[in-house]
């Protein structure tokens, strides 16, 4: 059996890989890291040279970048139907939405830095906060158009594309609400009930986001 170990920090992008591993139903180990300078240790840099989560150890290989991890896991474990293999009619759409997830999350990363990492008010920029939160709204707009008339991002049903963007929306809602995006809201309500999503949630006492929502200061 292939040995799989995910290096994870709660509520970060590695939650995307954790959720997917649960969907795949394969045995795996999770190593939970604190979100901080420890990710720059010499040992951890051997797993992810940029000192970030996730990193995935699988069958003697080490991967980083959630998009690559998603593609690789879906190829290694095709039985769960989370991927769309090369030549599949939905391959192009699957790739687009798996990777669009990072277009959303780049804004969450900027906002996490503004609201959480920069702890003194004078370090923060309300202009950047407002701009980045609005850009999340534009990303919701792209999802809204895609989900109009669809239950999931692909016509054939739930896939890793929903997991990838689903994590992004989970994280983005800390900064931009889903009001005005009814298709995204009902899709998200559907996928957040999945046992694999629930299993990827953080414990109450170990969270990156100390609040459910961060307002832009006026
Ligand atoms: N594009 C990368 C981004 C990875 C990334 O930036 N992860 C963040 C957590 S969401 C991280 O570990 N940041 C640590 C840091 O910047 O110090 C991916 O999708 O895996």
* Domains and their CATH numbers in the chain: 4-80 (3.40.30.10), 91-199 (1.20.1050.10)
Distance in angstroms (rounded) separating the CA atoms of residues 147 and 154: 9
Name the closest-CA residue to atom 12, ligand 1: 52
Q: Is the pLDDT of residue 119 over 90?
A: no
Nearest Cα neighbor of 28 from 196, 141, 194, 146 is: 196
- Is the pLDDT assigned to residue 69 strictly greater than 90? yes
Q: Provide the pLDDT for residue 49.
A: 98
DSSP state of 129: H
Mean residue pLDDT of the chain comes to: 97
Give the span between the Cα atoms of 6 and 24, in whole angstroms. 14
Nearest CA to ligand 1 atom 15: 52
Mean pLDDT, rounded, for 23-45: 96
Q: List the residue whose alpha carbon is closest to atom 3 of ligand 1.
A: 65
Average pLDDT score over residue span 129-142: 98
Among 6, 11, 13, 51, the mutation site with the greatest number of ligand 1 atoms within 8 A of its Cβ is: 13
* DSSP structure class, residue 178: -
Rounded Cα distance, 148 and 150, in Å? 6
- Pick from 18-22, 33-37, 49-53, 111-115: least confident: 33-37
Long-range Cβ contact pairs of 36-43 (< 8 A, separation 24 or more): 39/9
Nearest CA to ligand 1 atom 2: 65
In which band, very low, low, confident or very high, does the pLDDT at 51 lie, cut at 50, 70 and 90?
very high
Model-wide pTM > 0.85: yes
What are the Cα distances from residue 169, in Å, to 26, 56, 105?
A: 25, 23, 8
Query: Among positive and negative, which fits the CA dihedral 115, 169, 70, 107?
Result: negative
pLDDT at 1: 84
Ligand 1 pocket residues where CB is under 6 Å: 12-13, 39, 51-54, 65-66, 102
Residue 218 has pLDDT above 90, yes or no: no
């Amino acid at each position: 059996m292939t040995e799989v170990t995910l290096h994870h920090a709660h509520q970060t992008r590695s939650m995307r890989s954790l959720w997917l591993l649960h969907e795949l139903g394969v045995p795996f180990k999770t190593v939970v890291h604190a979100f901080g300078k420890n990710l720059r240790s010499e040992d951890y840099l051997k797993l992810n040279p940029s000192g970030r989560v996730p990193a995935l150890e699988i069958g003697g290989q080490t991967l980083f970048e959630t998009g690559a991890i998603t593609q690789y896991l879906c190829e290694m474990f095709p039985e769960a139907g989370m991927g769309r293999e090369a030549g599949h009619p939905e391959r192009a759409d699957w790739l687009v939405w798996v990777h669009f997830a990072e277009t959303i999350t780049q804004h969450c990363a900027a906002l996490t830095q503004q609201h959480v990492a920069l702890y003194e008010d004078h370090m923060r920029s309300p202009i950047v906060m407002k701009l980045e939160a609005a850009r999340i709204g534009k990303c919701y707009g792209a999802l809204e158009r895609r989900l109009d008339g669809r239950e999931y991002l692909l016509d054939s049903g739930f896939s890793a594309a929903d997991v990838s963007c689903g994590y992004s929306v989970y994280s983005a809602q800390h900064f931009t609400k889903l009001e005005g995006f009814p298709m995204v809201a009902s899709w998200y309500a559907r996928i957040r009930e999945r046992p694999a999503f629930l299993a990827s949630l953080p414990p109450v006492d170990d969270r990156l986001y100390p609040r459910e929502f961060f307002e832009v200061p006026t």
